[in-house]
Amino acid sequence: MTAHDTARGLLRSSAAATLAQLVRMSALLATHIVVRRFVGPATWGLWDWVQTVFLVLAALRDLGVPSQVVRLRPMPIGGLLRVEAGWGGALALAVAAAAPLVAGLMAEPSPETVAVVRALTIFLLLEGLTAVALAWFEANLRIERTLAPELARTAVYCALVLGGGMAGWGVWSFVAGQIGGQAVLCGWLWLRARGDGIELTPAAQGTRPLVRESLPLGVVWGLALAVTYVDPFLLGLLFPREAVGLYTFAYFLAFLVFRILQQPIGRALYPAFFAYRDDPARQFDAYRHATSLFLALEAPAALFLALNADRVVWLLGGDKYEGSARYLMLLAFAPLVDPLGRFGGEYLIARHLDRARVLSLALHLAALVVGGVLLCRWLGPIGMAWANFLPAGAPVVAWALWRTARGRLGRLARDLVEAYLAPALPFAAAWALSAPGGWARFALSIVAGLLCVAWLWRRRGDELLRFFRPADLPATPAQ
């Protein structure tokens, strides 16, 4: 694969993954707007807590093997399949047996919690099998081939959740949607992968050595998931389900840009970083563009949510969720605290700085857990929101970047400062020209956000296009 092919593959895969995520998030948002009129915060709190548990279990199931497989040539897809089917199946059975213990961790468990945990073990196994086909498409920068199956998964999930929510199924509408959607995605992806010539190549040294080599990556991704989703888990241990539901709704809105863009861009960046491993300058440019672009979108989104928290919560959640606004006004700024960490993990792993990544995540998680528990004891559930402003791992990422790319950090720093400051003027005008909580402020904030996007494109559009569509690259192998 040439450097030109890698750049085009990165653009194509990023665009496809982002489109799928945009459609998915839009459909989920629309579905949940309706369903929240029928499902209260307590039920939603139960679902968010159980979903968090299974996200962490997914990292335990994968053991880092999908990410390790992307590093290897030839890709041992057969070894990955053995891990997901064998170990993944055993883990699912163990979780089903231990469901009463899992349910007992909640401060206010529901009578349905045990049955919900057991049912979702089906999803845990299906998701693992799906990861095998996904790893093959992602490693080959052919994520566009996953677009139709991803959209079908979303359609099935939304239909079941919407129908079940309106029919009074409660938390079971989410369970049905999760399992049904994943089954469709798994089946369709495997059909496409088989048609595209996927080869179930075994691991060269056997499956056990593959797992051992993958464990450092497994620790990284497990910690990354824990950092992202520890909030609802801790709240579920300390407070009633309704408090969890109100908080997680605000958290979802605060990190909406993150949820839409981080996963698809990260999915395309990770293999691209390895494709650029012989070109450190271009590798860092990919990181710089992704990081600064991400912050340039997150900063105006944060100001919009903070200025219009009451209106946003009422529009998207209804009267049952009005208690989420106080959390949202604070959480809106949490995504801006650690810009280097958005794609720093993928970059550091590609540079074989796994220990630095593990240390940064461990420090961040420790700050969230210790700070979250202490602040919750002192302030109540909003203490967890304040804990998100303790990015203890950020200095480690900054230090690692300085070691590997110190001559290029100045440009990144200028890009980040501009991304922080550019939205200040238009949103300050929206704040000054309107009353709190009114529709005028909401409308002016939309205008301010559009101005920020226009400014971003004017300042960075040509540069981004030149990066993704290089016309003067020699056709030399990039890997």
pLDDT tens digits, residue range 260-271? 777 667 766 767
**The tokens of 155 are what?**
């359609």
Looking at residue 256, its pLDDT comes to 86
pLDDT of residue 273: 79
Among 94-108, 160-174, 446-460, which is the least confidently predicted range? 446-460
As a whole number of angstroms, the distance between CA 279 and CA 159 comes to 46
DSSP 199: -
In angstroms, the CA 479 to CA 474 distance is 14
- Provide the residue ranges of all domains of the chain, joining segments of one domain with +: 3-468
Q: What radius of gyration, in Å, describes the C-alpha atoms of the chain?
A: 22
Instruction: Extract the tokens encoding 211.
Output: 């797992």
Cβ(40)–Cβ(242) below 8 Å: yes
Does the structure show a pLDDT above 60 at 1? no
Asked if the model's pLDDT at residue 35 lies above 60, the reply is yes
Length of the chain in terms of residues written: 479
DSSP state of 85: I
- Mean pLDDT score, 190-217: 83
Query: Average of pLDDT values for 285-309?
Result: 91
Q: Does pLDDT of 136 surpass 70?
A: yes
pTM score of the predicted model: 0.84
- Give the rounded percent of residues in the chain with a pLDDT score beyond 70: 90
What three-state secondary structure class fits 2? strand
Digit-coded pLDDT (tens) for 159-193:
999 999 999 999 999 999 999 999 999 999 999 98
Range with lowest mean pLDDT among 111-125, 190-204, 261-275, 353-367? 261-275
d(CA 137, CA 144) in angstroms, rounded, equals 9
Q: What is the pLDDT of residue 479?
A: 33
| pLDDT classification of 470: cutoffs 50, 70, 90 | very low
CB 457, CB 293: distance < 8 Å = no
Give residue 162's identity as a one-letter amino acid code: L
pLDDT over 90 (residue 453): no
Give pLDDT, residue 409: 85
Q: How confident is the model at residue 477 (pLDDT cuts 50, 70, 90)?
A: very low
Of residues 127 and 459, more confidently modeled? 127
Average pLDDT for 132-148: 81
* Higher per-residue confidence, 294 vs 180: 180
pLDDT average, residue stretch 204-225: 85
Q: Which residues pair with 477 in a beta bridge?
A: 2
Closest CA to 121 of 91, 164, 147: 91
Q: What is the mean pLDDT of residues 21-37?
A: 88
pLDDT reported for residue 478: 35
- If one compares 436 and 74, the residue with the highest pLDDT of the two is 436
- Summary mean pLDDT of the chain: 87
Contact yes or no for 203/214 (Cβ under 8 A)? no
Asked if the bond preceding 74 is cis, omega within 30° of 0, the reply is yes
Alpha-carbon distance 11 to 264, whole Å?
Answer: 11
* Most distant CA atoms of the chain, gap in Å: 67
Q: Which residues pair with 2 in a beta bridge?
A: 477
pLDDT exceeds 70 at position 234: yes
- Kindly state the DSSP code that residue 107 receives in the 8-state scheme: S
Per-residue pLDDT at 146 exceeds 50? yes
End-to-end CA distance of the chain: 7
Residue-wise pLDDT for 308-356, tens only, equals: 999 999 999 999 999 999 999 999 999 999 999 888 888 887 887 878 8
Residue type present at position 277 = R
pLDDT exceeds 70 at position 475: no
> Is 243 in contact with 381 (CB distance < 8 Å)?
yes
* Residue 472 pLDDT > 50: no
Confidence of residue 474 (pLDDT cuts 50, 70, 90): very low
DSSP assignment string, 371-436:
HHHHHHHHH-THHHHHHTT--TTHHHHHHHHHHHHGGGHHHHHHHHHHHHHTTHHHHHHHHHTS-T
In the chain, the percentage of residues whose pLDDT exceeds 90 is: 55
Best-predicted range by mean pLDDT (79-88, 200-209, 405-414) = 79-88
pLDDT band at 473 (very low <50, low <70, confident <90, very high): very low
Distance in angstroms (rounded) separating the CA atoms of residues 318 and 211: 47
